[in-house]
Structure 1
Amino acid sequence: MKYAVITGTSKGLGASIAKLLMEASYHVIGLARSQNDELKQLSTHGSYQHYQTDLSDLKATEATFNQIIHSLQDKELESLVLVQNAAVVTPIEQVGKQNNDQIIDHVHINLASPMIVTNIWLDAWRNTTFPLILVNVTSGAANRSVYGWNAYGSTKAALDRYTKTVALEQEELETENKVFLFDPSIMDTDMQGEIRSADKSQFIDVEKFKAYKTENNLRDTSKVAKVLVDRLLNPTLVKNGEYLSVKDII
């Protein structure tokens, strides 16, 4: 059986990835703070199981993933994909005016959680008879400094370096596991709405992001998800350590 574990499936890109994989007969396990009833009710060859999880709580995240791994170890697995999609952009604010609790939650969700999950995941499936595929969703903000996005750009940059280092280690260990980055670029999501609601004093490029919406330049999440899912459904095309950007495909 083919399984995929995806974080951030309550809406947006995570929900779109889950839907497409379910249509391709994957059994999807989704994690998010809120339930996605639409995915549960979909009539496909795959299925959907939800774990209500707050990824800012690292102990709870670890416990949930250990529970998921335990449940999967009883299955006859032929393919196993992990997509770490969940992320937050808050706080959108210049340094010196931020809420420290928001900074901590941000780092936990965007960086510490993926690192802990990857560590648990690779240890648990050390003796699998098939290569694992792990995807970390990144952002172009990892490669440039954006006023007000000091936390977001920093955690995404760190996630990029971490992902490429894990890929290097897997290569040296000759595991045949594949770990790579996916950059979805700008999409029509709730996160974009949150960005547009920022004050210019917090986010200097806010007018540019408002224009993305009014000029219909935001991609639909289903189209973005298809780029990633098409790659996942053809494992021979997946390259360990690659940076897959939607802008290079559509």
Structure 2
Amino acid sequence: MAITHVTIVTGASRGLGEALTQRLLAPNHQLVCLARKRNEALLQQAATLGVQLTWVEQDLAELTESGGAEAFMKELLSRTAYQSAAHIRLINNAGMLDPIGAASSNASEDVARHIAVNLTAPLVLSAAFLRETEHLSSDKRLMQISSGAGRHPYAGWSAYCATKAGLDHFSRCVKLEQEGLPHGARIASVAPGVIDTAMQATIRSAGEERFPSHARFVEMYETGSLTLPQEAAGKLIAYLEDDRFGEEVIADIRNW
């Protein structure tokens, strides 16, 4: 069976990343999933469906510290049929919320790790992806999973808001750069809405002292206002494959 779609997904082991991967388990698709831990259920599901899924256990903070993103991306792509695939995708989904609390209370090492995972990793992986595929005329797309927190400030989320804002602005720059190339890639930084994942459980456990907007998120959970990961993933993949993808580089899936 010829491979038509090659997709790399970071943070694929749980939550939104797991749901995105499940949506991509389709004929003629080949997936490379990154996470600190394997998801055996996803691997079994892929095997049952006859979809090629390669799992790579990787702490993205360690990857950025070693400076090995270029070689790492080459290795990831070498495990796929990307040279002949008509569609090549990179979904930078991996992220973390901690540290939560006033900027003055956050430990420097916690902030450094947060930036490495939420901002440095998607930047260097995107850059390496673009370099490794720039010679190809295939349809190349990068989806950055951003957040409304990158566009609206929250007390207690200084690191999270800053890294998501940085991811948005990086995407704006890349769009300008790629538009001038003969085989440029499309890119969009997409806020997926408020999703019922482990990250939301972390928010609810933080308390109002560390996160003043705590009550709002508790209310959303108690009233059933959170989006299920499977629903958000369905919308995100539909947008990724739509002809309009990338026209609006800073997007919110709830408005699409």
Q: Scaled by the length of structure 2, what TM-score is found?
A: 0.91
Matching residue of 1:44: 49
In structure 2, the gaps of 5 or more residues are: none
Partner SS state of residue 79, structure 2:
helix
Contact 1:168–1:241, Cα closer than 8 Å, also in 2: no
Question: Which residue number corresponds to residue 23 of structure 1?
Answer: 26
Kindly report which structure 2 residues correspond to 1:3-18, keeping only aligned pairs within 5 A, or say none: 3-18=6-21
Q: Which whole-Å deviations, capped at 9, do the CAs of 1:28-70 have from their partners, x for residues lacking one?
A: 1100011111110112252321100001111276243231123
CA distance in 1, matches of 2:88, 2:55: 17
Q: Residues 93-147 of structure 1, C-alpha deviation per residue, up to 9 Å, x if partnerless?
A: 1011112111001000111111111111111111112131001010001111101
Q: TM-score, normalised by structure 1?
A: 0.93
How far does residue 240 in structure 1 lie from its aligned partner after superposition? 4.2
- Give the root-mean-square deviation of aligned CA atoms: 1.7
In the alignment, is the contact (CA less than 8 A) between 1:32 and 1:52 conserved in 2? Answer: yes
Name the count of aligned residue pairs: 248
Q: CA deviation at 1:239?
A: 2.8
Unaligned runs of 5+ in 1: none
Assess if the C-alpha contact under 8 Å between 1:55 and 1:61 holds in 2. Answer: no
Q: Please list the CA deviations of residues 68-89 of structure 1 after superposition, one character each: whole Å capped at 9, or x if unmatched.
A: 1233367632211100001111
Instruction: Say whether 1:123 aligns with 2:131.
Output: yes
Runs of 4+ residues deviating >6 angstroms: none
Q: Is the counterpart of residue 243 in structure 1 residue 246 in structure 2? A: no
Indicate the SS of the match to 1:72: coil
The letter of the residue matching 2:237 is V
Point out the more displaced range, 162-171 or 20-29: 20-29
CA distance in structure 1 between the partners assigned to 2:197 and 2:106 by the alignment: 24
Instruction: State the SS of the aligned residue for 1:188.
Output: coil
